[in-house]
Amino acid sequence: MDTSSGQAALRILILSADRFEDSELQVPTERLRAAGFNVDIAAPVKGPIRGKHGHLANANLGIDEVQPDAYAALVLPGGEAPARLRHLPEVLDVVRAFVRAGKPVAAICHGPQILAAAGVLAARTVTCYPSVADELKSAGARYRDAEVVVDGNLITSRKPADLPAFVRETLKSLHSAAARPEGVTTS
């Protein structure tokens, strides 16, 4: 994303917590930043969060500080963090706000559990880590076993090995959203 024109870079929100799948937070963060996006990480409490394999990330926001209108897209990494996040009403409210606004929402591995808990999967086609498939089907989703599934503004993937396709489709969705006449929110 070229920000040399003086236009502020689009802001992307990542929601996570301790025990995230390290690569599923780290790779999208790095790739989005390299593409010129500003990336904020929000967690239940502002400060450091630790991945399942020891990666430290800084949550520069508490979830209670998140203003969905300030962001162009939402990313939900997997690991064990989604099992905790899906029980927090403020997380579900944030997810619903992004989906309602038609903004890109990208979830990988166990991340779609948060989408199921938010009640936004009825009649949507998604993928996820195989052990989560029945949960998504129970939430009304159509499950497809593929490295990445794009259904409107939802982008989902199964596992860390799918990160190249996940990031590619997330970036494609962001560029497409930015090109629409109504655009997306900038900071």
Just list the catalytic residues: 110
Tokens 């503004």 map to which residue?
A: 153
Does residue 102 contact residue 180 with C-beta atoms inside 8 Å? Answer: no
Does residue 40 contact residue 74 with C-beta atoms inside 8 Å? Answer: no
Is the Cα dihedral 140, 142, 146, 148 positive or negative? negative
Helix 163-179 with 22-34: angle, nearest 10 deg: 40
Q: Which helix (H) or strand (E) holds 12?
A: strand 11-15
